[in-house]
């Protein structure tokens, strides 16, 4: 009889327990940022044009929606050294980034984006299409980010 009562008590406890766990993400515990797109500029022989100083890293800037973005070239991070790096951000549709390589040369990157999800007030986008100076580019997966290689 004691076994039946104990079994009944355990069974009732299991059925009447309520899961009060909050399934929402605690945004204070994580650092969320959008993915990046990296741009490698090379010559016909595959030589990096920033590394060989055809373009000077410190002089390269990007304008986007009226903002000037500086320090867009990583110089001391081995896996992305001498690449132009931009966050995949903007709004749905076409987003145009003017990449100022020198005083006399500006390239145009256009990212066509669609909204994927919002996590902790950060909107993530999917790149539908990428054009660089009017030519459609193939995106390569780059450790969860994106990479395009431009031959100049």
Q: How many CB atoms lie within 10 A of CB 46?
A: 9
Instruction: Output the pTM of the full model.
Output: 0.80
Tell me which H or E stretch contains 141. strand 140-142
Tens-level pLDDT at each residue, the chain (152 residues)? 544 544 445 544 555 555 555 567 777 777 677 899 999 999 999 999 999 999 999 999 999 999 999 999 998 899 999 999 999 999 999 999 999 999 999 999 999 999 987 778 778 899 999 999 999 999 999 999 999 999 99
Taking the mean position of all CA atoms in its chain, how far away is CA 36? 3
CA separation for the pair 17, 26 (Å, rounded): 24
Domains of the chain listed by start with CATH number: 33-151 (2.60.40)
């Amino acid at each position: 009889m004691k076994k039946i009562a104990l079994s009944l008590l355990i069974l009732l406890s299991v059925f009447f327990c309520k899961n009060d766990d909050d399934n929402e993400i605690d945004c204070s515990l994580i650092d969320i940022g959008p993915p990046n797109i990296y741009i490698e500029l090379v010559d016909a022989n595959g030589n990096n044009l920033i590394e060989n100083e055809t373009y000077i890293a410190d002089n390269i800037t990007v304008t986007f929606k009226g903002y000037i973005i500086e320090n867009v070239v990583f110089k001391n991070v081995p896996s992305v050294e001498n690449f132009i790096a931009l966050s995949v951000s903007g709004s749905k549709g076409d987003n145009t980034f003017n990449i100022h390589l020198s005083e006399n040369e500006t390239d145009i990157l256009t990212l066509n984006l669609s909204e994927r999800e919002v996590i902790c007030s950060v909107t993530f986008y999917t790149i539908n299409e990428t054009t660089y100076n009017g030519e459609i580019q193939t995106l390569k997966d780059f450790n969860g980010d994106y990479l395009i290689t431009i031959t100049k």
